[in-house]
Structure 1
Amino acid sequence: MSTGANHVREERTAAAPEIINKVTSNNNSTSSSLQPNGHEPRTVYDLLFTLSPDVDTGLEIVEHDVIHPYFAQVDQVFPLACPASPPHYQKDPVKTIETCTLGTLNMLRLAQKANARFMLVSTSEIYGDPLEHPQKETYWGNCNPIGPRACYDEGKRLAETLTYAFATARSLQVRVVRPFNTFGPRMNPNDGRVVSNFITQALRGDDLTIYGEGEQTRSFQYVPDLVDGFVAVMEGDCAEPINLGNPEEYTVRELAEMVRRSVNEKVRIVNKDANVDDPQKRKPDISRAKERVGWQPRHSFKYGLEKTVEFF
């Protein structure tokens, strides 16, 4: 666990407002893309599960664990912390909860002190194993509060509660986004999520591993679309939660077949025991994103898959 807290404080200027983009886990592809025109991004990394950031990204890198307080004079705060891959967030569930709660609280306090706008990066996992399909932001979810995924699901739900408490009680400007499954170049090959798993297995010539029957569905968005969504929501005027995802829906078995055809047709697809509390359906309703901030994904899943395979 990295606990260093080195940073360079820079004052804001009207021409180049500074962003603090705080990232943990496998968010390299997101953070290196989150550089809107006219901004000077600062990234605070905890390198527990992530690849080290490239030196040529243009980001100012600060190594720090966000469960400890941090301050910089900034205009916007994008808290992306917390491993999002089940094998990673389940490895240390207490640390996951601390990151979602203490980390979010410290970033909220940073935003309040700096008079900055705060955009919580929550997750579609707050919907749990949904009984509503597709999922709208008004759906309260179906989560097991004591299951193996609870540290992440419930941690993010509490992070949303904290965010709106600061908005109500302390007049902080807040935004909340709920990203659905996201993938793209610069993912960690050992990320543990289904897209990277299938690609790396196929490249090695290993069997593609499906947990359960493979009929569970997911909706995958290409990372540049997610970044566009982050900027649109941060700059927009909607303070309600907003789903960010690609409504294209595939079963896990369909995904495995696409990767096999694209990478290595000689590999087999094999089934193993299903994971506990694995959501059976996952598809965003993005009506609010379209109507309130003018966002929708620009890239198809197949295009993103091609680019991600090229990277690996």
Structure 2
Amino acid sequence: MSSTAISGSALALLERMLLIRAYEEKLIALSAGGQFPAVCSSFGQEAAAVGVVAALGAADQILTNHRSAGHLLARGADPGRMLAEVMGRVDGYCRGRSGSLHIAARELGVVLTSTIVGGELSLATGVALAQQTLGRRGLVACFFGDGAAGEGIFHESLNLAATWGLPILYVCENNQWQAYVHRRETMLGEHIAPWAQSLGVEAERVDGNDVFAVHAAAEAACERIRADGRPRLLELSTYRLRGHLEPDDPQAADAAELALWRERDPLRHCIATLLAGGHADAAGIERMSRAAHARIEAALAFAEASPYPAADELLADVYA
């Protein structure tokens, strides 16, 4: 990474990653304390979320999956409202009705969070078609994992997007795990990108733990989509450092593999790059880390002070 490639915006990327990590750590601790049902964290995948979302424009739409906290926070979501939502409080983004698995935030362009594996893939084509038909600016970024890529809807979605020429950035966060099953137990190949290419979608594999590489690839892909309106796919190689559900530890993971990926922690990589290039110092990074944790403590206080929804809201927005 050349010195010219790292500007002041690099510190903003690190700042967002530190906030996501602090949020996830708090979520894990609260879940372990039994304060709400088990949640799915994206601990260890911060660079993938931050690098891609930082490349999106205000008019772009986002569809994501059950490990959505990083995408939402990278988009600028208020951690207090996010914690309030997870805790079922009225000041959450969906007034406490969605929990962590179905958060939507229209004001941020986050159309939905889908707990159904591949559910966001089934809707991304529709959202992009609406954007195109209505003449709206903005592409659609669709986040999913390697498990969803094994679903039939992956092929259906990409096939339609390629055939209809839809402005979709497909982002596969290949974190090596599909719930409690390792990727190698369900896939013969190592990568998802060739599947996309066989369907006529340009695809690129990127180190998903290098936020600078992710951001550069996402910016280039978005630029090409805006130029020709056709879909692209980024496969981000990363690793889920926690279990499927919090507060589970990744007990099923091979110890050597887990140790290898912990050494490649995206925050560690980003910090080392900035320090080596003289773009930050240890004291400054420590201040940023403390500020992130302080912000999450304030967010928790906000969420805990938020009331539960009134009983007469129980059936609101229920149509069947």
TM-score between the two structures when normalised by the length of structure 1: 0.36
Higher helix proportion: 2
Higher strand proportion: 1
